[in-house]
Amino acid sequence: DSRRVGRAAVPPPSPPAAVSQVTVRDALNQALDEELERDERVFLLGEEVAQYDGAYKISRGLWKKYGDKRVVDTPISEMGFAGIAVGAAMAGLRPVCEFMTFNFSMQAIDQVINSAAKTCYMSAGSIAVPVVFRGPNGASAGVGAQHSQCFAAWYGHCPGLKVVSPWSSEDAKGLLKASIRDDNPVVMLENELLYGVPFEMSEQAQSKEFVIPIGKAKIERQGTHVTLVAHSRPVGHCLEAAAVLSKEGVECEVINLRTIRPLDIETVEASVVKTNHLVTVEGGWPQFGVGAEICARIMEGPAFNYLDAPAVRVTGADVPMPYAKILEDNCLPQVKDIIFAVKKTLNI
């Protein structure tokens, strides 16, 4: 006993923070519930969000808890209910507008871009449009070309919007809460195949005040040989590829972008300065894509001088998504494609 021999007693180790497994679906539901409770100006609208609990059960239980005025079922008219959401935001409410898939947001793109994104600038800052457009983005499984497109590059192209793209449950909760509280229009691009996936969430991440700042990337794995940059589901593929490559002596640094606009290029630059190699990974098409933007920014900035090889992009195939499963798999970046790109970059 340290007290007996006169030394200062060593305090007992603090118990580890409680960590539990939470699916992305439940994390989104938790975020919506907490923000509806916190701010009476927040309301949800979209197809089947109320009585049916949401097409993907993201809004499960919220209609029963908050009623018709806070959780609103709409007709099948994206242009109509997106317009209602934008008008409500201009009038001082904070709507969360769900698209059943972002492919259907094409029906409402005039409202998203011309009505929401440009209004603050065109009104010299006098009209804020605090609206969140959220829903699944990119390819699911076996849903054909008209339901499989990634819109990160489309919406990331437009000034006036903020665009977030979560991977984990922590990302989903923290970014949705930050988006609802933001005074600008935010497009939140989720992934349908991640909804049922459980991730570890700390006690802190499950608190009511947990938010993730928009515009800040997260380093998911430290490494020294090559930087892998991804968003949404491909972050998981990058971590899998990094685990395989680690056994071969290659240590990958994996960056989860979290936000598409504004892009946290500083975190990517700092990593490239350290690793001297860059591979970008995304499910979208190659031309004018997120990876293309990252490569251009690196080339224009100070990190370019540290590159020991050309940056490489791993993307979806440059075709509309086929329906057949084997073709679909070959159109989307797989772990083997990332490993191949890393070895090509490192010349091994």
Domains of the chain are 21-206 (3.40.50.970), 218-346 (3.40.50.920)
**Beta-strand runs (E) in the chain:** 19-23, 42-46, 71-73, 94-98, 132-136, 162-164, 186-190, 198-202, 218-221, 226-230, 252-256, 259-261, 278-281, 312-314
What pLDDT sits at residue 8? 45
Cis peptide leading into residue 262 (ω within 30°): yes
Q: Give the separation between CA 76 and CA 47, rounded to whole angstroms.
A: 6
Checking DSSP bridges between strand 252-256 and strand 218-221, what pairing results, if any?
A: antiparallel
Q: Give the separation between CA 321 and CA 330, rounded to whole angstroms.
A: 10
Catalytic residues: 78, 147
The pLDDT tens digits for 252-299 are 999 999 999 999 999 999 999 999 999 999 999 999 999 999 999 999
Q: Where are the alpha helices (DSSP H) in 276-324?
A: 290-300
Q: Is the pLDDT of residue 63 over 60?
A: yes
Sign of the torsion angle spanned by Cα atoms 263, 269, 271, 272 = positive
Q: Is the pLDDT of residue 5 over 80?
A: no
Give 168's DSSP letter.
S
What pLDDT sits at residue 12? 56
Q: Is the pLDDT of residue 15 over 60?
A: no
User: Rounded to whole angstroms, what are the CA distances from 76 to 95, 107, 151, 285?
Assistant: 18, 11, 21, 28
**Beta-strand runs (E) in 162-262:** 162-164, 186-190, 198-202, 218-221, 226-230, 252-256, 259-261
* pLDDT-above-70 percentage for the chain: 95
Q: Give the separation between CA 255 and CA 231, rounded to whole angstroms.
A: 8
Sign of the torsion angle spanned by Cα atoms 21, 27, 29, 33 = positive
Q: Please, which pLDDT band fits residue 19 given cuts at 50, 70 and 90?
A: confident
What average pLDDT score do residues 48-76 get?
A: 97
CB neighbours of residue 37 within 10 Å: 12
What is the CA angle 90-94-100, rounded to 5? 105
Q: Is the pLDDT of residue 1 over 60?
A: no
Q: Please, which pLDDT band fits residue 16 given cuts at 50, 70 and 90?
A: low
Computed over every residue of the chain, the mean pLDDT equals 95
Owner of token pair 């029906």? 107
The pLDDT tens digits for 153-201 are 999 999 999 999 999 999 999 999 999 999 999 999 999 999 999 999 9
Strand order in the sheet with 226-230: 218-221, 252-256, 226-230, 278-281, 312-314
Q: Give the separation between CA 17 and CA 175, rounded to whole angstroms.
A: 22
SS (H, E, C) 97-118: EECCCHHHHHHHHHHHHHHHHC
The pLDDT tens digits for 286-308 are 999 999 999 999 999 999 999 99
Rounded (to 5) percent helix, strand, coil in the chain = 40, 15, 45
* pLDDT-above-90 percentage for the chain: 95
The pair of three-digit structure tokens given for residue 297, joined into one six-digit string: 């920014």
